[in-house]
Amino acid sequence: MSVIATLNSLPLYLICGAIIAFVAVICLVFMVRAYRAGVKMGMDEKVLKRVMTSSATFSVLPAVGILLGVIALSGSLGLPWPWLRLSVIGALHYEAQVAQGAAEHAGIGGLSPESMTVSAFTTIALLMSICIMWGMVLSVLFNRGYLKKIGIKNPEETALNKKSGFGDMAMSAMFIGLVSAYIGSYIGSFVSSEGLFTFKGDFLPLIVVLVSGLVMAIFVYLSEKKKKAWVDNFSVAASMLVGMTAAVLINLL
């Protein structure tokens, strides 16, 4: 049996599948608790259901993208391990980089099905787990204290209709900073990645940003001006889909 066939064998599916199933149970527990708590606290059930519908539709497209990451890694690590890594804790941009670095240190030069050994695989798998586990470790140690310190407020201070403080504004600003950094990187990449100010870099991400932003503008118009609030449930996912379709079409030209 080849190494890749070994890495695709039933025991690995069982081990990885069991961990994923356990994480799914955790998500269900948190979901049911939050829903019940929301109802008991007097929140509108319609809003809670809309949050779930919107989050589900929002997540489908990125999840398909993540699935592609699983497929990409399955060539050298087998299918079960990338399936576990990207279902639990992992991140698309992280896995391939760490797996490649880990493969070099495992003595097989790099990620490739030809050079993979079972020993190298277990070494790579352990390093992938250790490198990304720190967010969880910090959560266990400091989540409660950190949230307390920065001030989760008491319910009576924070009723829905109460005017928000700087905290809310700061979080929106942080998100604006995050989006700015990524869009800035697309601009910089296009302008200078093939030599400073040569404008010969990859322009596709920028086009996708513009198209999906434009489609989002149409959805906002429909929602706010035409009073079609239901489009909010699909606006982000649909904007993304049109933006991604634009990438395919432009690439075909």
Partner 1 sequence: MKENRNEYFEKYNNRTHLLGRVFTVIVLVLLVGAPFLIGAVLGASPDLGAVGRGFLSVGLIWTISSVVEFLIYTPMLGAGGSYLAFITGNLINMKIPCAVNARDMAGVKTGTPENEIVSTLSIATSSLVTIVVLALGVLLLQPLKGFLQSPALQPAFSNVVPALFGAMAYKYFRGNMKIAIAPLLLMSILFMLVPSLTGSTSMMIIPSGALAIGISYLIYRKQK
Q: Kindly identify the residues of this chain, within the stretch 199-218, that bind partner 1 according to CB under 8 A.
A: 201, 204-206, 208-217
Residue 109 binds to partner 1 (criterion: CB under 8 A): no
CA angle in degrees (0–180, nearest 5) for 174-176-177: 65
Minimum CB distance to partner 1 smaller for 114 or for 167: 167
Binding mask 31-60 for partner 1 (x = CB under 8 A): x-xxx-xx-xxxx---xx-xxx-xxx-xxx
Question: What gap in Å lies between CA 40 and CA 36, rounded to an integer?
Answer: 6
Terminal-residue alpha carbon distance, the chain: 44
Contacts of 162 (CB under 8 A, 6+ apart): none
Q: What is the DSSP string of 118-149?
A: HHHHHHHHHHHHHHHTHHHHHHHHHHHHHHHH
Q: How far is the CB of 227 from partner 1 (least distance, A)?
A: 15
Q: Within a 13 Å sphere around the CA of 41, how many CA atoms are in the beta-carbon half?
A: 14
What is the size of the binding site for partner 1 (CB under 8 A)? 164
Binding mask 154-193 for partner 1 (x = CB under 8 A): xxx-x-x-x-xxxxxxxxxxxxxxxxxxxxxxxxxx-xxx
- DSSP three-state, residue 164: coil
Among 73, 77, 106, 116, binds partner 1 (CB under 8 A): 106
Minimum CB distance to partner 1 smaller for 184 or for 228: 184
Binding mask 120-159 for partner 1 (x = CB under 8 A): -xxx-xxx-xxxxxxxxxxxx-xxx-xx--xxxxxxx-x-
Residue 87 binds to partner 1 (criterion: CB under 8 A): yes
Q: How far is the CB of 62 from partner 1 (least distance, A)?
A: 4
Question: What gap in Å lies between CA 67 and CA 73, rounded to an integer?
Answer: 10
Contacts of 53 (CB under 8 A, 6+ apart): 233
Minimum CB distance to partner 1 smaller for 112 or for 170: 170
